[in-house]
A = this chain, B = another copy of it.
Amino acid sequence: MATTDLLRGNAVIGQSGGPTAVINQSLVGIVEGLRAGLHAAGYVSRILGMRHGVRGLTKGELIDLTDIHQDRLDRLASTPSAGLGSTRDKPDDAYCERVIEACRKQDARYFFYIGGNDSADTCRIVHERAVGSGYDLRCLHVPKTVDNDLVENDHCPGFASAARYVAMACMADFMDNISLPGIKINVIMGRHAGFLTAASALARRHDLLLTGRGEESTDGPQLIYVPEVPFEMERFVADVEGWYSRKGRCHIAVSEGIADSEGTPIGATLIEGAQVDAHGNVQLSGSGALGDQLADYLKERLTPVGGKPPRVRADTFGYVQRCWPHASPVDAREARRAGQFAAMLAMQGDRDGSVTIVRQGSGSEMWLGEDNGQPYLSTFRRVELREVAAKTRRMPDEFLAGHNNVSRAFVEYALPLVGELPGFERL
C-alpha cells in the first residue's frame, strides 16, 4: 500500500479487560513499532496512552508516551498488569460517540486496543461508528487474555505466563499433597474455556519426563475439570473416591467456570452478592466459594479411610495467577511482537484488523530431542475484527480426555509455550 494512503495525526493506545503479566509488553511493542515507523516517517506526531482504556480517553485522561526513554519502556514491559490502567466498560452508542469525539479532539487517527474478545468488539464498534460519522480512524486490536479463548489464534498473549504459574503452583502443591496426604482441590481461572485449568497437566513432570505420558499420570493433578465438559457432582465424588480409596490422597484441578449440563456456572450461584460487569459476565474470581463448596461436599460424601474423615483442602489461585511477575519468556516475546506487528499493520495502511498468532514450528523437540524435533516458532497475521470480536474459543475435542482429564495433544500444544519448568527430585 502506498504511503500516500496514510493518515497524519496522533495515535492512542488502550488496555482493556483483565490484566496479564505481559499486556505491558504489547503496549511497549506498539510504542516501539510506532516510533520506528509512522512516528519516524512523520505521520504520527504524538503517541498517547489512554488511562483505563476508552473511559480515560473520553475524559481526556491521557499519558504522552512519545518520548518515554527506552529504559523505562523496557522496565514497563516486564511489569505485570496494565500500566495504563484497564477498564471493563462496554461502549454503547452514546459512549461510542464520546470515544470518536475524543479522538477528533486529540487528532487521533490511530486507535490501538489491547484486550480479549470484548475489547476486539469495542475496537470493531468504534471503527464502524468512526466510518459512519465520516471520521477516518484506523482501529487495530492486539490480543490478550489468560483464558486463551480468542478464535483465530493458536494461543493468546498472557495465556502462557498464567499457564506457567499454574503449572509451577500445581507442581509445588502436588509435592505438598504427597508430603501431607489428603484431598486437595485447586480452583483455576477460566470462564468458558478450560485452557488455563488444563495447564495444570504440565505439572505432571515426573511422568512427562520419564514416560512421556500425560494422560494416565499418577502425578498430580490426577483429575482435571474444565468448563467444556458438563460437571456432575456425583460423578465428581466417584472420581475422587476412586483415587482416594487407592492412594489415600487425590490432587484435583477445577476451572472456576465449570457448569452443569444446562451451562449454568456452578461457582456463580455460590458467591454472595456476585457482581456483574458491563459485558454481562458474572463474577467468578475473587472468592473461594466454589472450592469451599466442593470441599464441603467431599467431606460429607467420601467414605472414611481407616476410620478417619478425609483431610480435604481447597485453594483458589486468584488474581496472582494472571499477574505473577515472572512471565514465560516465549509469552513476553510474542506479546511484544504482537504490539510491534499492529504498528506495522498501521504503517502498511491497514484500516482495521486484529493481530493473531499462528504457530509454525510445533515445538516437538520438547519431546523428541533437539536434533529430531521441530523447534517452536510462531508468526503473526492480520484477520478482520469481526472474525475475533465477541467470539469465544473453547478447548477442542482433541485436547480433552474423558470427562476429567486432558490429552497428550494438549500437553504437546502447551509445553513449548510456558518456558522451562523446574526439575524436582523425588525420594
Contact = CB atoms under 8 A, between A and B. Distances in A.
Give me the 7 closest cross-chain CB pairs, A-B, nearest first. Answer: A288-B288, A286-B313, A315-B318, A81-B175, A75-B425, A76-B425, A82-B179
Interface of A: 15, 18-19, 21, 49, 63, 65, 72, 75-76, 78-88, 168-169, 171-173, 175-176, 178-180, 184, 271-273, 275, 285-289, 291-292, 295-296, 299-300, 309, 311-320, 322-326, 422-427
Number of identical monomers bound together in the oligomeric complex: 2
A325 B75 contact: no
Given A19-B180, A423-B75, A427-B49, A173 B275 contact: no
A315 B313 contact: no
Contacts of A63: 427
B287 A427 contact: no
Q: Tell me the dominant secondary structure on chain A's binding face.
A: loop
A76 B175 CA distance: 12
A197 to B, nearest CB: 15
A288 B309 contact: no
B426 A83 contact: yes
A172 B81 contact: yes
A72 B424 CA distance: 10
Contact of A288 (B19, B76, B316, B424): B316
B273 A173 contact: no
B72 A320 contact: no
A304 to B, nearest CB: 12
Contacts of A323: 172-173, 175-176
Given A79-B425, A173-B323, A176-B319, 13 more contacts: A18-B180, A75-B424, A76-B427, A82-B179, A172-B325, A272-B299, A273-B296, A273-B309, A285-B313, A286-B295, A287-B288, A288-B288, A315-B320
